[in-house]
Amino acid sequence: MAGNLAAVRERIRAACAAVGRDPAEVTLVAVTKTYPASDVALLAEFGVRDVGENRDQEAAAKAQELAGLDIRWHFIGQLQRNKCRSVARYATVVQSVDSVRLALALDRATRAAIESAERVNPIEVLVQVSLDGDIARGGAKPFDPDSDTGLAAVLKAVSDAESLQLKGLMAVAPLDRPARDAFAQLRRIALDVCVGYPTATILSAGMSDDLEDAVASGATHLRVGSALLGARRYLG
Ligand SMILES: *Cc1c(COP(=O)(O)O)cnc(C)c1O
């Protein structure tokens, strides 16, 4: 793992150098889904404190097991409203808010968690943006301003929510066109969003296979799994 981590850090350094960015602007979020809590603990020893998970059940168990470590848990998967109360117990960041209804549910759940002293701070939220037409993969729609999943409506709902802090945008590169085109589109959307929401400065984009393209398009957070931990094995 130390070798993989060094290799990923070197890729980030080189990608930043290629476009004149400071690597200190880029946060590595280690995506540890399907890997055991012991791997998260090892990553923390190597200084990786930002960890991404995409399933509540798995994330909640790991967060509980590693409660003594100083880890920032990022929820990055599609989130069902009935899981918000659980996620609000451990998540520092939710990167995948993509509807008004989900924003309202997460706000309520976070307020309840704060009131029962299960957490202190608001949840930091990234609004997930859809860069393709594939609704099944999630993401708010940039060109559909009025519906429950329109980007403008979701941004406003998060921004207005008492227990949520709007921090920026997240996206997954679509399968139907080159990642660099999609990330360039994301960058234009992010610049627009920053006009209305100047504190929404995080841009979470880029995974193991496309992190260089994401860095070139201004990503501040990279979500890297397999390049750190090897190919995932999905059991059952
Ligand atoms: C699994 C996952 C990643 C990490 O993907 P790798 O290709 O393993 O780096 C990043 N983002 C999301 C939303 C994921 O579900």
Q: Tell which one of 223, 224, 233 to mutate to probe ligand 1, the residue whose CB is within 8 A of the most ligand atoms.
A: 223
pLDDT band at 236 (very low <50, low <70, confident <90, very high): very low
Q: Tell which one of 28, 31, 203, 211 to mutate to probe ligand 1, the residue whose CB is within 8 A of the most ligand atoms.
A: 31
Q: What is the rounded CA–CA span in Å between residue 157 and residue 128?
A: 13
Q: What is the pLDDT of residue 95?
A: 98
Q: Which token pair is 48?
A: 């990786």
Q: What is the pLDDT of residue 147?
A: 84
Q: Specify whether the CB–CB gap between 134 and 174 falls below 8 A.
A: yes
pLDDT above 50 for 84: yes
Q: Tell which one of 35, 54, 221 to mutate to probe ligand 1, the residue whose CB is within 8 A of the most ligand atoms.
A: 54
pLDDT per residue as tens digits for the range 163-174: 999 999 999 999
pLDDT per residue as tens digits for the range 9-50: 999 999 999 999 999 999 999 999 999 999 999 999 999 999
Atom 11 of ligand 1: nearest residue by CA position = 223
Nearest ligand 1 atom to alpha carbon 227: 9
Global pTM? 0.96
List all residues whose CB is within 6 A of at least one atom of ligand 1: 31, 33, 54, 76-77, 172, 207-209, 223-227
Q: Which token pair is 14?
A: 């080189």
